[in-house]
Amino acid sequence: MIKDSINKKENNFLGIDNYLFGIGNFIKNINLYKINNIKIIKCDAKKIISKYIKNNSIYEIRIFFPDPWNKNKHKKRRLINKIFIKQLLKILEFNGTIHIITDSLNYFEYILDNFNYLLDKLNFFIKNIICYKNIFINTNFEKKSILKNNNIYYIYIQKNKF
């Protein structure tokens, strides 16, 4: 997001994170590069998206390395589930895109299953669900995954009208 905000000064960017550590690193880079088209919110993204963002108002959504909560008893804590996906698709403009990157194969498959489940239940369709392995975006989580020799999985989704 930092690189894009420098290259696309006419666009506005919103970063949402529930953890101060992530926000602190982000603010450090914003100050370093003197960027003024990014706003940051420390809050649960589900709350912000469901209450404060208008439908069809966001062109691009990026979710990088959400916590996979791999233990069965913790899976209910996952950020990306059917309800959250519906919220994302509501706020996304037509022809808008969602980019999701994870290093958890289990979570990757879970996310794809949830998008596929919703395909029949929505009044628009999702075009170009494209999945890649080992896409590189240069984040700290990505660096840790590479050191652990984990694969990195990328999902690209585009919302289109019927």
**Measured distance CA(137)–CA(28) in Å, rounded:** 18
> Six-digit token pair at 99?
């980019």
67 is a catalytic site residue: yes
Cα dihedral 105, 106, 108, 112 sign: positive
**Measured distance CA(11)–CA(16) in Å, rounded:** 17
Which of 67, 103, 113, 120 is catalytic? The answer is 67
**Residue 56 belongs to what H/E stretch?**
none
First to last CA, the chain: 30
Which residues fall within 8 angstroms of residue 81, CB to CB, at 6 or more apart?
114
The answer to whether the CB of 118 falls within 8 A of the CB of 41 is no
Positions marked catalytic: 67
